[in-house]
Structure 1
Amino acid sequence: MKQIAHPEVLTFFEDNSSTFSYIVIDPNSRDCAVVDSVLNFDYASGNIHYESADQILNCIQRRNLNVVYLIETHVHADHLSAAPYIQSVTGGKIGISKHIDSVQRTFGEVFNEPAEFKRDGTQFDVLFEDGQTYHIGSIEAVAIHTPGHTPACMVHLMGDACFVGDTIFMPDSGSARADFPGGDARSLYQSIQKILKLPDETRLFMCHDYQPNGRARAFLTTVLEQKRSNIHVRHGISEEEFVAMREARDGTLGMPSLIYPSLQTNMRAGHFPKPDTNDITYLKVPISGLKQSLIATD
């Protein structure tokens, strides 16, 4: 029987977006992957800083690790990716699902991006296919397409460690929303079933935790625990019940505070749009519901 790798997983947390980032280390070499890194961004001032990413970089450098991949589980709508910044220091390939092109087409239209904005995923170094295997040193990893939250969501199974992005949360939090453009509650349910078919002992690492009822922060669970107690998809909850719950719940949710800057950068593999003619970079905010009388004219 083939032995499944048990990678060392180092966890980092960014408070403003309640996001977990990870370094996944091959036990037999210095090779590693970075999953879902965060660039700190102050929306009000437009300032960026690198505290969260530098924590990851300091750890990589202190342990003399070799970064092979910088994985994005999806195009995040609640934080900006620090992958290009980390890559500029460590090297490695930035990877995401091949279905990023669908997200780029959708939000390329939302933000009225010019034709020079490529909608084919070529901003990324690797576009993962569903079921594609790749290696982090001796670890065999598998990319699994899990649409529903977004069309380009993927979970990454690295040995016995699975990084689930926003497909599923801790058992007392349930599942992610499915109402963003291209999202779909039924697809999300079916994607979660892919996770629940993994071996019971598989470790599941969360992308977020919102600490319901004020409990301590948590990032790690197992397939077995999810099947037993996830409030949205535990054993016995049907697809129809899930879809009805998810769609009703999504109708009550507001938008993430960093959705516009996050989407514009993350669909570019974490890069900002090109500077304007004054050498300053700008991010757009689409305005809806504006009365005609308030539109400025020259």
Structure 2
Amino acid sequence: MRIDSFFHAATNTWSHLLSGGDETAAAIIDPVLDFDAAGGRVSTESAQAILAAVHAHRLRVEWLLETHAHADHLTATDWLRRTLRAEGHPARSAIGAGIVAVQKHWKQVFGLGDDFAADGSDFDHLIADGESLPLGALTIEALATPGHTSDGVSYRVGDAVFVGDTVFSPAAGTGRCDFPGGDAATQYRSIRKLYALPESTRLYLCHDYPPRDAEPRAEIDLVEQRSGNAQLRRDTREADYIAQREARDATLPAPRLLYPSLQVNIRAGKLPPADERGRVFLRLPVIAGDEWREVRNE
């Protein structure tokens, strides 16, 4: 098994290219689309680095896997899917079946019309808990790990597990649980599921937030995670974790790219439909305070 990891510094995101070695089937996990929010510009430099590795090792990409609908970066799944299919790869997009509930919620938030079905059909495949996905000589086992979001899924291949935002490196702790569909108690149980895996397990992260004098880590040994996680160790009680997680979440600001990310990611990386002039727009919901409404109504 070969795993190549790519760090996107602008969003502290890890993407992973999984394969059995050169000239074998491969899966790309959590690829990032570059996005300049101030200029409204999307680009593909980060995804092109993954594509270059695919070409260098003569891989055949079978799957483009999302661990969940991310709220802090735009996914490059659609661009990679179209590019790879043009080259003859199967390149099927997949995410946990819980994405349907996520889509329905954000469809209402963004006021999306009938052109967005919110039934999971933007993805080629919706993954059930415990489902196995073939990858050449390898098998990918899906482990539902909700809590950060309702659609969270981790992917286990041999002794490697790609955990999404369920946990970060030990010093950074665990993923927040205050997004719609998130729940600290549910996340506690998901992390316990991971902690019950064999001690030889390696956890591959979706994010790392290292201190300035440290390099980001893509891989964490399970034993280190269980003994050193800042918020949930092996002996942490559920009630203590919930109290700590909810107290911390109450202090966190919304992710900088929350609204742009979700409008794209619930569509499997597709941009919103263009208007009659070919222009694409992202919506920004505005929450007006009571004092603004009082003045407006005078």
TM class by shorter-chain length?
A: over 0.9
8 A contact 1:111–1:286 mirrored in 2:
yes
TM-score (normalised: structure 1): 0.94
Q: 1:53 is matched with which residue: 35, 47, 54?
A: 47
How many Å apart are 1:278 and its aligned residue? 2.7
The answer for unaligned runs of 5 or more in structure 2 is: 86-90
8 A contact 1:226–1:234 mirrored in 2:
yes
* Partners of 1:265 and 1:174 in 2: CA distance: 27
Partner residue in 1 for 2:293 = 292
How many Å apart are 1:277 and its aligned residue? 3.0
Give the number of equivalent residue pairs. Answer: 290
How many Å apart are 1:172 and its aligned residue? 1.2
Partner residue in 2 for 1:188 = 187
* Partners of 1:138 and 1:29 in 2: CA distance: 12
Partner residue in 1 for 2:88 = none
Q: 1:55 to 1:294 in 2, by over 3 A?
A: farther
Code of the residue aligned with 1:39 in structure 2: it is L
Q: 2:63 is matched with which residue: 65, 69, 79?
A: 69
* Partners of 2:227 and 2:246 in 1: CA distance: 23
Deviations 1:120-153 (A, max 9, x none): 1000001000000111111111011111000001
How many Å apart are 1:115 and its aligned residue? 2.2
How many Å apart are 1:292 and its aligned residue? 3.5
How many Å apart are 1:157 and its aligned residue? 0.4
2:8 pairs with 1:14: yes
8 A contact 1:200–1:223 mirrored in 2:
yes
* Partners of 1:230 and 1:8 in 2: CA distance: 26
8 A contact 1:10–1:22 mirrored in 2:
yes
Partner residue in 2 for 1:3 = none
Q: 1:269 to 1:29 in 2, by over 3 A?
A: same
SS for the counterpart of 2:71 is coil
Code of the residue aligned with 2:13 in structure 1: it is T
* Partners of 1:259 and 1:294 in 2: CA distance: 29
Counting only pairs closer than 5 Å after superposition, residues 174-213 of structure 1 correspond to structure 2 as 174-212=173-211
Q: 1:243 to 1:213 in 2, by over 3 A?
A: farther
Q: 1:75 to 1:294 in 2, by over 3 A?
A: farther
TM-score (normalised: structure 2): 0.94
Q: 2:74 is matched with which residue: 69, 76, 80?
A: 80
How many Å apart are 1:109 and its aligned residue? 0.6
Partner residue in 2 for 1:235 = 234
Deviations 1:140-170 (A, max 9, x none): 1101111100000100001211100000111
Code of the residue aligned with 1:59 in structure 2: it is A
Counting only pairs closer than 5 Å after superposition, residues 86-97 of structure 1 correspond to structure 2 as 86-91=80-85, 92-97=91-96
Q: 1:28 to 1:277 in 2, by over 3 A?
A: closer
Code of the residue aligned with 1:223 in structure 2: it is L
Report the identity percentage.
38
Partner residue in 1 for 2:168 = 169
Code of the residue aligned with 2:44 in structure 1: it is Y
Partner residue in 2 for 1:133 = 132
8 A contact 2:22–2:58 mirrored in 1:
no
How many Å apart are 1:216 and its aligned residue? 2.2
SS for the counterpart of 1:218 is coil
8 A contact 1:9–1:22 mirrored in 2:
yes
The answer for unaligned runs of 5 or more in structure 1 is: 1-6
2:263 pairs with 1:264: yes
Cα RMSD after superposing both structures:
1.5
Code of the residue aligned with 2:220 in structure 1: it is T
Deviations 1:16-65 (A, max 9, x none): 10000010011485111000000000001111111100100111112111
SS for the counterpart of 1:39 is strand
Deviations 1:238-267 (A, max 9, x none): 000000000000011011111101000000
